[in-house]
Amino acid sequence: MQPTGVPAGWEAYGDEKQERVGFFTDTSVCIGCKACEVACKEWNLVPEDGLVWTGESYDNTSTLGANSWRHVAFVEQRKPLHVPSEPEPGQTEDGGRGDGDALRWLMSSDVCKHCTHAACLDVCPTGSLFRTEFGTVVVQEDICNGCGYCVPACPFGVLDKRDIASDRPGSMGHKPDLPASLGTKEDGRVWKCTLCYDRLKGGHEPACAKACPTKSIQFGPLDELRERADARLAKLSDEGWNGAQLYGRDPGDGVGGFGAFFLLLDDPEVYGLPPDPVVTTKHVGAMWENMATAAAVLVVGVAAAFLGGRG
């Protein structure tokens, strides 16, 4: 599939199509308060899935998953906050700013990227994952049968299956309306950020953006967010911030641009993000052709086993 920058399926809404919306997460103003994580859990009734202390800076959420649709990453590094300039006589090595060897603490609120070309949506065998009229990607919880194919298909590791043992302390307990086939499992379906589809329908911004106290998470029409991000990047560049870069802003990237993109202060992999993600279904046509050849050769091979005499 060749990226075009326009989500397949979104155009099909016709008159019902809405402006494509998304997030611009400006990590340069994130203060790591995790209000986004909390607001998301509260609004979307996302269950708690264990309270652990990781020892990894202030991050005890660790990763996006079925029960974490926002995840604030904390990176501690010894790296100058500003790009070192030529030191003048009598000044410190970093050009007088005095932050040359200082601790830099990066925070970034990660979320589903709502890709223009979404692998999860492509590979979903039930049609549970769909493109909304806002151009976002949502799992229909009444359709998902928990096959788990989207989980390894996502180049960002966003989706996961919700499997909570009902006897786990602090869990919500086995719900009586769930089928007995689940056994001790509580759910079995796949969950991820919906970009607050229900709130969008009601004309509200998503819960995380609403709760963000520093406007690190900005919600709006994607085109507008991209312009805002370009201006912000130019400003940070002028001010000499070290490592400032936009991530997922460009419709020419491997997933056709993110619906939720970022301003980072270091390379993506430092935040646990892939540097060059490509929609996994990009080669699916070639893969089917290759398979068809293999299948044909298999028939020839079986037939060849019968050559040269009976029995």
Does the footprint of another protein cover residue 290 (CB under 8 A)?
yes
Does the footprint of another protein cover residue 30 (CB under 8 A)?
no
Q: Which is nearer to another protein, 169 or 275 (CB)?
A: 275
3-class state of residue 51 by DSSP: coil
Tell which positions 258-287 bind another protein, by CB under 8 A: 258, 264, 266-278, 280-281, 283-284, 286-287
Q: 46, 254, 259, 265: which one contacts another protein (CB under 8 A)?
A: 254
CA angle 243, 245, 250 (to 5 degrees): 160
Does the footprint of another protein cover residue 163 (CB under 8 A)?
yes
Tell which positions 174-203 bind another protein, by CB under 8 A: 179, 181-182, 185, 187-190
Q: Could you give phi then psi for residue 39, rounded to 5 degrees?
A: -60, -40
Q: Candidates 31-39, 40-48, 62-70, 208-216 — which segment interacts with another protein by CB under 8 A?
A: 62-70
Does the footprint of another protein cover residue 45 (CB under 8 A)?
no
CA torsion 26-252-190-152 (nearest 10°) is -110
Q: Which is nearer to another protein, 38 or 278 (CB)?
A: 278
3-state class percentages of the chain: helix first, strand second, coil last, to nearest 5: 30, 20, 55
Does the footprint of another protein cover residue 244 (CB under 8 A)?
yes
3-class state of residue 143 by DSSP: coil
Instruction: For 278-294, give the DSSP string.
Output: --GGGGHHHHHHHHHHH
Q: 30, 124, 193, 225: which one contacts another protein (CB under 8 A)?
A: 124
Q: Which is nearer to another protein, 210 or 278 (CB)?
A: 278
CB 293 within 8 A of CB 54: no
Go through the chain and tell me how many residues it has: 311
Does the footprint of another protein cover residue 12 (CB under 8 A)?
no
Q: Among candidates 267, 268, 256, which has minimal Cα distance to 156?
A: 268
Say which DSSP state 56 is in: B
Q: Which is nearer to another protein, 191 or 219 (CB)?
A: 191
Tell which positions 84-113 bind another protein, by CB under 8 A: 93, 100-101, 103
CA distances from 272 to 72, 78, 104, 128, 269 (A): 11, 18, 17, 27, 5
Tell which positions 136-155 bind another protein, by CB under 8 A: 143-149, 151-155
Q: 62, 85, 184, 214: which one contacts another protein (CB under 8 A)?
A: 62
